[in-house]
Structure 1
Amino acid sequence: MAANTKTSRKVARYAVPVAVAGVAAATVAMVPAFANAGGPDLPKVTAQQLVEKIAASEVQQLSGTARISTDLGLPKIATGLLGGGGGVAGGSANPEDKVAQLANGTHTLRIAADGPDRQRLTFLDGKDEYSLIHNGDDVWGYDSKSNEVFHEKNPEAGKASGKDAGKEHKTGDRPAASPQQMAEEILKAAGTTTDVSVGDTAQVAGRDAYQLVLKPKQSGSTVGSVQIAVDAKTGVPLRVQLLSSQGGKPIVDAGFTKVDFAKPSADTFAFTPPKGAKLTEGTDGAAKGDKDNAFKALESFPGLEGLMGGPNGKGDLKVLGEGWATIARIDSGAGKSLKDLENDKNAPKEAKQFLDSLGDKVNGKFGEGRVLSTRLVNALITDDGKVYVGAVTKDALVKAADANK
């Protein structure tokens, strides 16, 4: 990353990568069922009042423990490709490699924040720890198992001062995996395609909370609803639930199990590389694990370079629909079709394994293709090299492909 990259971009970069789902960070809200049976008796509020309460919250200092559980239903081969399934330890100290692992399984995190310039996120899975620390103009990643350190410096950070500084960074620089930031990203994306209401009250991390419920108005979305538990006193989102339109357990669960709104101690954000640790300095686009988009990940499979269009592919992108029914149509400019690869006796076995993992073959007016299915995002790759992807059902993708062939 370039030295003059803004801190807000730096922190956003370490959110769950778009490649995990393929689209829409707004749909990657997370959820745990930590509410006690029988919610607390709280004064009635409207949905508008609850949204305003979240927006008006001035809390920028907190610490606590959170749990994130994700069940996207990714094929095993895709889970490995996107960084999941390996626990938090090992590999490298690059933050993208570690935070990507939130796309799979259950993880426990320790979170601390003190304003726009200091946050710390520590993965607590297993005996080894991984910490991501933002302190002023420094961002550190430390993997205790491999004893590797990742570092990026940003001289632009902290230049804003006074009252405006806090407002400028208030949303973007909270811990990237915190329920607070996730909820705000969802609310920013909610528009005329969303029904917003107030659900039952709850208790989260020992605190009384209201629940804001967002439901897609449109048909065809894989998302049934998003439920955000909001602290009744502070307005801080404590928990977010992403529920599938097909029912079953939440697609993703994230929320505090413990939370304290006192100012964390200054040494919480201090970091000095341990003696003997391997240090990697981040550079623009060159850090290990950097993925501009899902195609770069797909191209890592031998034999798929031509299929995905390679470095000289067209990469034309068209957005179809809106809101929860948004579909991205990508013309990869591929030199090969899926059928070409399927029939190629000399194609590497890894490429064939990837095709097998994509799932069912489908056909329509657009021709033929294959669908990569998860509980949240589906992707249709047509034989002529086009990709339709969105948090929508397979039927919705086929309809879009037929209408835009």
Structure 2
Amino acid sequence: MAGNTKTSRKAARYAVPVAVAGVAAATVAMVPAFANAGGPDLPKVTAQQLIEKIAASEVQQLSGTARISTDLGLPSLASGLLGGGGVTGGSASPEDKVAQLASGTHTFQVAADGPDKQKLTFLDGKHEYSLIHNGDDLWGYDSKSNEVFHEKGHGAPQGEGKGKGKERKTADRLPATPKELAEEALKAAGTTTDVSVGDTAQVAGRDAYQLVLKPKQAGSTVGSIQIAVDARNGVPLRFQLLSSQGGKPIVDAGFTKVEFAAPAAKTFDFTPPKGAKVNEGGGPEHLGKDGKDGSALKGLESLPGLGGLTGGAGMDGKGEVKVLGEGWATVARIDSGTGKGLKDIENDKNAPKEAEQFLNSLGDKVSGKFGEGRVFSTRLVNALITDDGKVYVGAVTKDALVKTADASK
């Protein structure tokens, strides 16, 4: 969550390359930033200096309003299954709300006071959904259903002060802030990435530099990542993931209002309202579909009819996962070992109607040396599901995915 500068998140495995941890100075393009006509006039900095400014930022107290817009280009059926905006009822469990961030625009209020106190309140519609992390407690409250989610054991991550030795659970899966998205992107940048400084900007009324990351490799769905960095304190204020095909950002997350000061202590207090149903969380195993491990495949498995194809490969020890390529061209090949494929669904008269609808939304069939299959396409992640039960998934174009599948035979 916001404010914990040391928290290391596990981003979607195939959304950005993870082959290189950290940013080596030798790979950073030392390009100074010049103010553009519409941006503030700031002193020139190099990309390396800007990265160091982010790393040196010690801001852990803030409050404000943020907005995240996501346009993955999901088929309408898949988008509906992932959650279509507005506050859901159910158990008030965080993963239901997190799933809704896969599409649409969402506004939320953020407050943070160090690694053990954070609050995030979604402001979608007339109802509110709040996540409150206070010491060892994590609370989720859905005002629409008057239900509460509660989980114990949420001290600071291992080796970080209070709560040392405890494993974070749901708190590590709360929607990422611009800072955390930026940190994951910088960890992924290596020899396959050009890093430079772009035009200056104003975000939430604050002057900012813009750090730009671009893939050197052809075939990536990612055109660039642009990170607006507060010129005074080094806090990332906005994160934009742009498509190689152009158009509006795939992900645009940023503050619209922010103040760097300690929120009132009572901000993080929470007592279940009278009459509310309280559901106690079950730990990490309870959080099955928010994408901690193999997020792209997890998303596919949540769709009707596809769980049987993957057999849980890569998530529960079954099957085989092989990483092909490197950097932005990384593709994961998942072999469930079951031999079941899309044709089994197509020929299964007992398959649910939703499975047939989903198959029809996947797009054109493809073929090559790998055999035959279908491609599940989004603006960011593409997945090739073969008729013999293999899945190739990566943040690469359809043509690059097919080429990789052919080469792996």
TM over 0.5: yes
Paired letter, 1:23: Y
- Match for residue 311 of structure 2? 309
Query: Residue by residue, what CA displacement relative to the aligned partner does 1:105-130 show, whole Å, maximum 9, x if unpaired?
Result: 00001011101111111101111100
What SS is found at the alignment partner of 1:182? helix
Query: Residue by residue, what CA displacement relative to the aligned partner does 1:320-370 show, whole Å, maximum 9, x if unpaired?
Result: 111111111000123422123223334332221121121110000111000
Aligned residues of 2:122 and 2:129 also touching (Cα < 8 A): yes
- Match for residue 325 of structure 2? 321
Paired letter, 2:15: A
Distance in 1 between residues matched to 2:351 and 2:158, nearest whole Å? 53
Q: 1:267 offset after TM fit, Å?
A: 0.6
What SS is found at the alignment partner of 1:63? strand
Confirm or deny that 1:384 pairs with 2:349. no
- Match for residue 363 of structure 2? 359
Unaligned runs of 5+ in 1: 1-7, 28-35
- Match for residue 274 of structure 1? 273
Structure 1 residues 339-350: aligned runs within 5 Å: 339-350=343-354
Structure 1 residues 13-92: aligned runs within 5 Å: 18=12, 23-24=14-15, 38-81=38-81, 83-92=82-91
Which range moves more in the overlay, 277-286 or 180-189? Answer: 277-286
- Match for residue 337 of structure 2? 333
Aligned residues of 2:155 and 2:162 also touching (Cα < 8 A): no
Could you say if the C-alpha distance between residues 393 and 206 of structure 1 is closer, same or farther in structure 2, counting changes exceeding 3 Å? Answer: same
Aligned residues of 2:85 and 2:104 also touching (Cα < 8 A): no
- Match for residue 214 of structure 1? 213
Confirm or deny that 1:394 pairs with 2:398. yes
Equivalences, count: 379
Confirm or deny that 1:230 pairs with 2:241. no
- Match for residue 122 of structure 1? 121
Aligned residues of 2:220 and 2:328 also touching (Cα < 8 A): yes
What SS is found at the alignment partner of 2:242? strand
Distance in 1 between residues matched to 2:280 and 2:17, nearest whole Å? 30
- Match for residue 185 of structure 1? 184
Aligned residues of 2:89 and 2:147 also touching (Cα < 8 A): no
Confirm or deny that 1:200 pairs with 2:196. no
Distance in 1 between residues matched to 2:301 and 2:179, nearest whole Å? 34
Identity over aligned residues, as a percent?
A: 78
Distance in 1 between residues matched to 2:158 and 2:322, nearest whole Å? 37
Q: 1:137 offset after TM fit, Å?
A: 0.6
Distance in 2 between residues matched to 1:214 and 1:398, nearest whole Å? 26
Paired letter, 1:366: F
What SS is found at the alignment partner of 1:307? helix
- TM-score, L = length of structure 1: 0.85
Query: Residue by residue, what CA displacement relative to the aligned partner does 1:118-148 show, whole Å, maximum 9, x if unpaired?
Result: 1111101111100111101111111110011
- Match for residue 33 of structure 2? none
Could you say if the C-alpha distance between residues 383 and 173 of structure 1 is closer, same or farther in structure 2, counting changes exceeding 3 Å? Answer: closer
Say what the alpha-carbon RMSD is for the aligned residues: 3.0
Distance in 2 between residues matched to 1:63 and 1:144, nearest whole Å? 22
Q: 1:278 offset after TM fit, Å?
A: 0.8
Distance in 1 between residues matched to 2:396 and 2:325, nearest whole Å? 11
Distance in 1 between residues matched to 2:160 and 2:242, nearest whole Å? 40
Unaligned runs of 5+ in 2: 19-35
Confirm or deny that 1:93 pairs with 2:92. yes
Aligned residues of 1:89 and 1:144 also touching (Cα < 8 A): no
What SS is found at the alignment partner of 2:286? coil
- Match for residue 136 of structure 2? 137
Query: Residue by residue, what CA displacement relative to the aligned partner does 1:253-305 show, whole Å, maximum 9, x if unpaired?
Result: 11000000011110111111111111111113553765565556655556545
Aligned residues of 1:137 and 1:158 also touching (Cα < 8 A): no
Paired letter, 1:394: K
Query: Residue by residue, what CA displacement relative to the aligned partner does 1:378-404 show, whole Å, maximum 9, x if unpaired?
Result: 000011100000110001110111011
